[in-house]
């Protein structure tokens, strides 16, 4: 029996090690400012709650914070410069429950977005419930953030709104099926290898008019100069997906921040 248990443990270690060995070298995935002891550093309601983030993290009371209520008018200006070009493919990820969210870290640099001549590499994607951005005052059940970074450490984030439909449970892509099957069983702890490959393009809505604005990380340290692109159409999720995430993580959405002097642009598609 003891040998059996040791054998299983050895197999488990071998799987973890081989997963790491198969991964191409990649910069550490940013965890949106939770580099050390994340669970104790801040929260939405404990230790340093959201209303006090600005005391410990001065950027959190800046003028260009996220999320925002996206209000557009028929005369919204056309964006200056070119639309981002997405280059995604099936890739290897690890997944972690860091106490603030479920986060999928890219194991390599295969996925990227070209924007204004810069290459922004996908580092990680993660989930929020309820959704963080509002659109025309409407809130959503959840939101997915795909976080990219360029060589200078600047961010580009794609936001995907998620909604539970009123009718039957939605059909979903195999990539989302992988996300939910991994995310909803993960207790807090170290990152584990994702079972199988995942293509981030399978996480995007098919109708893809996009809102563009300059914002920030929505978690401490709330760094600004983040290029935000929020898809106008939500993807559908099931009630079980939403409830499973809330049971595991709890509500992890930041309050809506003032727009101040920012412009929201509308892109016909990316």
Q: Supply the residues annotated as catalytic.
A: 100
Q: What tokens does 142 get?
A: 């959840």
SS3 letters across the chain: CHHHHHHHHHHHHHHHHHHHHHCCCCCCCCCCCCCCCHHHHCCCCCCCCHHHHHHHCHHHHCCCCCCCEECCCCCCCCCCCCCCEEECCCECEEEEECCCCEEEEECCCCCEEEECCEEEEEEEEEEECCCCCEECCECCCEEEEEEEECCCCCEEEEEEEEECCCCCCCCCCHHHHHHHHHHCCCCCCCCEECCCCECHHHHCCCCCCEEEEEEECCCCCCCEEEEEEEECCCEECCHHHHHHHHHHCCCCCCCCCCCCCCCCEEECCC
Q: What's the closest the beta carbon of residue 50 comes to Zn ion, in angstroms?
A: 14
How far are the Cα atoms of 48, 75, 126, 242 from residue 143, in angstroms, in the given order?
Answer: 23, 27, 9, 10
Query: Residue 114 contacts by C-beta under 8 Å, 6 or more apart in sequence?
Result: 84, 85, 87, 120
Q: What's the closest the beta carbon of residue 155 comes to Zn ion, in angstroms?
A: 11
Which stretch, 6-14, 15-23, 140-148, 254-262, contacts Zn ion (CB under 5 A)?
140-148
Q: What's the closest the beta carbon of residue 255 comes to Zn ion, in angstroms?
A: 14
Our CB check for Zn ion shows the closer of 236 and 252 to be 252
Number of residues that bind Zn ion (CB under 5 A): 1
Q: What's the closest the beta carbon of residue 217 comes to Zn ion, in angstroms?
A: 7
Residue nearest to Zn ion (CB): 145
Our CB check for Zn ion shows the closer of 191 and 226 to be 226
Q: Does 145 bind Zn ion (CB under 5 A)?
A: yes
Q: What's the closest the beta carbon of residue 184 comes to Zn ion, in angstroms?
A: 18
Which stretch, 20-28, 75-83, 141-149, 232-240, contacts Zn ion (CB under 5 A)?
141-149
Q: Does 123 bind Zn ion (CB under 5 A)?
A: no
- Rounded Cα distance, 196 and 90, in Å: 9
Our CB check for Zn ion shows the closer of 133 and 145 to be 145
Q: What's the closest the beta carbon of residue 158 comes to Zn ion, in angstroms?
A: 11
Our CB check for Zn ion shows the closer of 23 and 130 to be 130
Which stretch, 21-29, 69-77, 145-153, 236-244, contacts Zn ion (CB under 5 A)?
145-153
Our CB check for Zn ion shows the closer of 101 and 163 to be 101
Q: Does 254 bind Zn ion (CB under 5 A)?
A: no
Which stretch, 139-147, 162-170, 203-211, 236-244, contacts Zn ion (CB under 5 A)?
139-147
Our CB check for Zn ion shows the closer of 94 and 219 to be 219
Positions that interact with Zn ion (CB under 5 A):
145
């Amino acid at each position: 029996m003891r040998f059996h248990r040791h054998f299983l443990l050895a197999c488990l270690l071998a799987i973890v090690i081989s997963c790491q060995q198969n991964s191409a070298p990649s910069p550490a995935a940013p965890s949106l400012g939770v580099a050390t002891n994340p669970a104790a550093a801040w929260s939405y309601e404990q230790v340093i709650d959201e209303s006090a983030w600005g005391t410990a993290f001065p950027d959190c009371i800046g003028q260009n914070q996220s999320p925002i209520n996206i209000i557009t008018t028929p005369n919204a200006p056309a964006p200056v410069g070119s639309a981002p070009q997405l280059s995604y493919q099936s890739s290897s990820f690890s997944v972690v429950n860091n106490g603030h969210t479920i986060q999928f870290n890219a194991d390599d640099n295969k996925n990227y977005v070209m924007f204004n001549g810069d290459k922004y590499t996908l580092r990680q994607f993660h989930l929020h419930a309820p959704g963080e951005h509002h659109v025309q005052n409407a809130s959503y059940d959840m939101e997915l953030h795909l976080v990219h970074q360029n060589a200078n450490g600047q961010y580009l984030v794609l936001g995907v709104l998620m909604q539970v439909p009123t009718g039957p449970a939605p059909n979903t892509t195999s990539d989302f099926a992988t996300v939910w099957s991994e995310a909803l069983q993960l207790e807090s702890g170290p990152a584990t290898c994702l079972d199988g490959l995942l293509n981030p393009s399978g996480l995007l809505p098919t109708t893809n008019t996009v809102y563009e604005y300059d914002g920030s990380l929505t978690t401490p340290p709330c760094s600004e100069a983040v290029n935000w692109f929020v898809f106008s159409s939500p993807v559908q999720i099931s009630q079980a997906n939403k409830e499973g995430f809330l049971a595991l993580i709890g509500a992890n959405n930041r309050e809506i921040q003032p727009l101040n002097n920012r412009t929201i642009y509308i892109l016909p598609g990316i």
